[in-house]
Amino acid sequence: MRSPRRRASRAGLITTLVASFLATTTAGSPSPLPPPSVAAAADGFASVAALGQDGTTGGAGGAVVTAATTAEFLDYISRPGPLVVQVSGTITLPTGSSDGMHPVASDKTIVGLGSTARLTGGGLRIGLPVNDRVTSPPADAVHNIIIRNLSFDGATDDLINIQMFSHHIWIDHNDFSDGDDGAVDIKRGSDLITVSWNRFHDHDKTLLLGHDDDNAAQDRGRLRVTYHHNHFDASDQRNPRVRFAEPVHVYNNYYRDNSYGVASAMDAGVVLEGNYFHSVNNPARVDFSGGLGRLVARDNILVECNHPVETRGSVVEPRTYYAYTPHRAAEVPAVVPAGAGAGRI
């Protein structure tokens, strides 16, 4: 649906070496909260101890390497064992026989150096090959991955695709634009993921959470994701579009000039909290397509929006799983654009 308006624990194990080159001096904020980038530790669902993983630590404990060429990058991200992969400059990902989607092995931190690190022309696949017969997490599910401070653009498919029960993923402080399909798609039983402090712009189908109305066998009871402090800067739709998942925590995001913000369907449960919607045709919906979703809303601000937030039913509270302290919705238009995206840590 389109309108006339087009339109950021338990991961404290991350090494002090990684924290030191990511951290910067804290800037002023309307709130006393310290920027999460300073701590360099995952929060939200990525911080939860489960599935044999104590939060998300990425490549902590492994060597630190720098990739400046395509060959180096593809080699490093596919190696077994923990590794911190620093990206220097622009790396073009080839299309080849994979439609440009390149697999990332478990226990990796992929982080851009400075403000100019960029992956273009292809995307990253986090997860085993698709197998509809697998309906519970396999022992070799891809897990424990951190992706930070990178610009992604120009993919012939998704910019990042997370699939097949992958878990403990932290996608933080990146810039996403101009992908052919999804920006960050999460599907097929993937779980315990945080998408934080990213900027999404010049992109249509942004965030898919659950890919199909008929995939309850893999998805129900999983797909637990936290989306916080993201800047949806005229990213048109699916910010996110949710099936089956509960709870999905969408808080302190800044929406500007979108056809719709959040869609909850197929009995998904979303907590929508402290977000700011400016010029969004449909900020949040539960009557979308397929079965009705559920949505609890609190402290959201709507400005120049065509429709109200749709609410329905009750949803498991995110605090059941982790502690957090949100900004007030009124602070979001200042806090999020100033801190979201690559080059901000």
| Catalytic residue set | 238
What SS3 state is found at 150? coil
Q: C-alpha distances in angstroms, 245 versus 8, 179, 225, 240, 268?
A: 20, 24, 8, 12, 5
In 3D, which of 196, 179, 130 has the Cα closest to residue 336? 196
Q: Which helix (H) or strand (E) holds 34?
A: none
- The type of residue at 335 is V
Any residues with CB less than 8 A from the CB of 40 and at least 6 apart, and which? Answer: 14, 18, 19, 22, 23, 345
* Whole-Å CA distances, 18 to 51, 80, 144: 25, 19, 15
Q: What are phi and psi of 119, to 5 degrees?
A: -115, 125
Altogether, the residues listed in the chain come to a count of: 345
Cα distance between residue 325 and residue 242, in whole Å: 24
259-262: Cβ within 8 A, 24+ apart: 259/1, 259/2, 259/3, 259/5, 259/6, 259/7, 260/1, 260/284, 260/285, 261/232, 262/295
- CA angle, corner 22, sides to 34 and 206, nearest 5? 80
